[in-house]
Chains A and B, each alone.
Chain A
Amino acid sequence: MGEHVSSNWPARLHVVTGKGGTGKTTVAAALALGLAATGRRTLLVEVESRQGIAQLFEVEPLPYQELRIAQAPGGGEVRALAIDPEEALLEYLDMFYHLGAAGRALRKVGAIDFATTIAPGLRDVLLTGKVKEATTRSQDGKRVYDAVVLDAPPTGRIGRFLNVTAETAKLAKVGPIKNQSEGVSSLLRSPITAVHVVTLLEEMPVQETLDAIAELKALNISVGRIIVNNARPALLAGGKVTKAELKRGLAEAGLPTDPTTVNGLATEAKAYLTRRELEESLRGELAEAGQPVIELPLLPGGIDRAALDELASSLMRA
């Protein structure tokens, strides 16, 4: 695949959020696979200690290490990392203060857990700081990753999670944490980053999507695309269902025309139309947000590796 495909997803750091239950982990994984298929070395990151990536790819729980999780046909690969805030803090302290064995002792008495819990925002600074480190890391003058995809916290918490400077500024007025959060803050506000919001065509997820986009824009954080997941094919374009016509159709197809079947199908078709009408108006609301919208099809077989690849190519085509 060439430049044309890559230019559809110009950012280097893709942050994927969405209301719980919309499939943001699935979409993040599919996006990582898609980017890898364009030849990019891609890192897929999770930060919520849920091991969602491992479950999706059906592998052992991920350690705090960047491990190859998938190979793309185009030669690219996806590595995955589950960032643990405690490990990130230890790594961080070790980098700056050479704690070594003392750090491990601190973990034993629970001090690390304590420290990542006491300061609101410290946890998020550590998590986003690690994401920034991976996004900007280079080795022998070359970038280690061409793309980083972050399976981020849900829409309800995304603003606070990404607005690290504000959270830490309340407490840390000076020091390395402040510097680190400022570095993260400018990365998130640069064209290197795009925050994509995953939604379903349902009221609550759409509402939260619009709220999150407004919140992120107010914070000057770069918003990317709205990704509608599980979109169903448009059927019954005529918008009308009559039992008489159904009965004739069923008879022509050689199917039973008993009242249970006819009434059942009519009820289902009407529910489908009600749903579609609602979906149409939700599409309209999403369009008003002014961000590009992509729709991913509902895959009847559920999500396995083949399904992820299919979603990946849908994303890359969009």
Chain B
Amino acid sequence: MVPLTEDTPRLDVDGLLADPSTRIIVCCGAGGVGKTTTAAALGVRAAEVHGRRTVVLTIDPARRLAQSMGLSELDNTPRQVKGIDAENGGELHAMMLDMKRTFDEVVQQHTTPQRAAEIFANPFYQAMSSTFSGTQEYMAMEKLGQLRATDEWDLIVVDTPPSRSALDFLDAPARLSRFLDGRMLRLLLAPARSGKSMFSLVTASFGLFSRAVQKVLGAQLLTDLSGFVSALDSMFGGFRHRADETYRILQDPQTAFLLVAAPERDAVREAAYFAERLVAERMPLAGLVLNRMHGSTAGELSAARSEQAAAALAATGEQTMTADALLVHAALMRQAEREVRVAETFTDSFPAVPTVSVTAQPADVHDVDGLRTIGALLVRLGDEA
């Protein structure tokens, strides 16, 4: 493995997992960087090596990975993962988020059964609970809050939703609770009255705006919205309170944010945005996991020298296997160099953030054994670098 800059502190994953005061680990980063696999591997290691009663909350796992953990359906309940070594007294449970069901449960908790039935029947609620932008993020936070509140788990590992931007995870709950707070909705639904009493450009435009919305979307939508708002009326405080509560949990030192990235420009840039944001929000950033890094064990042999030798062998027409093996090696060396350069755009900006790089595996991980291997790579076992 080609090391990153000498002075980049190494992320001590075992230390983090073993520490009883670590209660929540949030894995965040761009889509396609291996967040789910990282979260699952951390869960396996926490349970097996550190004997912790662990639950992994996944949002949208790959089918085969989900199956390997015994998650055959979205049922919103933690299920114990089979094949986990319990010698140290740990357990691993896993669950997949059911966004709609979580939302329904929140509604049920905050209102009477009759009101809840009204809300469930509203077409606006039906659309919003399954497609509202940010609902998935909000419900992931809600579920996290619920799991934490039971105090049943030593450690909760959360895999964040595949958002447009990793930052949505932090913003969506606030956006949704702002929306449900309904101030804007009320203005929208009662523009005529406010227009009479206060003559400002803003309220006047609201009347205009509401008429425009009515024209654009149709009156039915506003009627549905209105019904939705009055049905939700009793719950506004509850929603906001819960969103604030979860935000506070995230700021608590019992939580550790792990940025997950792959050595690609976009993914590393996203990790950098997220790091800035976590610092700004005073959220506990534990470190960066760089997945799918390439490296060579025959690193003394440079890419250029390998390519020259391969060309020379090719010219003789013999030893084609060695020539190809040298080309494979050269490509690997060049890829590793490029990856380190990309990763350094992060470590240069955040030199104090501890980092660990995980060697790319030849095949995808879809069983507990594979997760164990990733877990060992996360703590750099057998790595002398």
Contact = CB atoms under 8 A, between A and B. Distances in A.
Sorting the interface of chain A by its residue count into under 10, 10 to 19, 20 to 34 or 35 or more gives: 35 or more
Interface in A139-179: 153-154, 156, 160, 167, 170-178
A122 interface: yes
Contacts of A278: 362-364
Nearest to A240: B321
A103 to B, nearest CB: 8
Contacts of B202: 105, 108-109
A96 B335 CA distance: 53
Interface in A232-254: 232-233, 235-238, 240-242, 245-246, 248-250, 252-254
B362 A275 contact: yes
B322 A253 contact: yes
Interface string A93-127: 10011010111011011110011011111110000
Nearest to B363: A278
Interface SS of chain B: helix
A21 B33 contact: yes
Contacts, number: 228
Sorting the interface of chain B by its residue count into under 10, 10 to 19, 20 to 34 or 35 or more gives: 35 or more
B200 to A, nearest CB: 9
A21 B216 contact: no
Interface string A251-291: 01111100011011111110110110010000000000000
Contacts of A236: 321, 324-325, 328
Contacts of A235: 324, 327-328
B262 to A, nearest CB: 6
B215 A302 contact: no
A203 interface: yes
Contact of A249 (B217, B266, B305, B322): B322
Contacts of B362: 271, 274-275, 278
Contacts of B321: 236, 238, 240-242, 245-246, 249
A119 B124 CA distance: 9
Contact of A120 (B33, B131, B322): B131
B298 A156 contact: no
B179 A204 contact: no
Interface in B10-65: 30-33, 60, 62-64
B300 A250 contact: no
A253 B326 contact: yes
B332 interface: yes
Given A97-B212, A106-B206, A246-B321, 11 more contacts: A52-B266, A118-B179, A120-B128, A120-B131, A122-B217, A171-B217, A172-B216, A173-B220, A177-B217, A260-B300, A264-B299
10 contacts: A25-B266, A97-B212, A103-B205, A105-B201, A111-B209, A123-B133, A203-B64, A207-B62, A232-B331, A261-B298
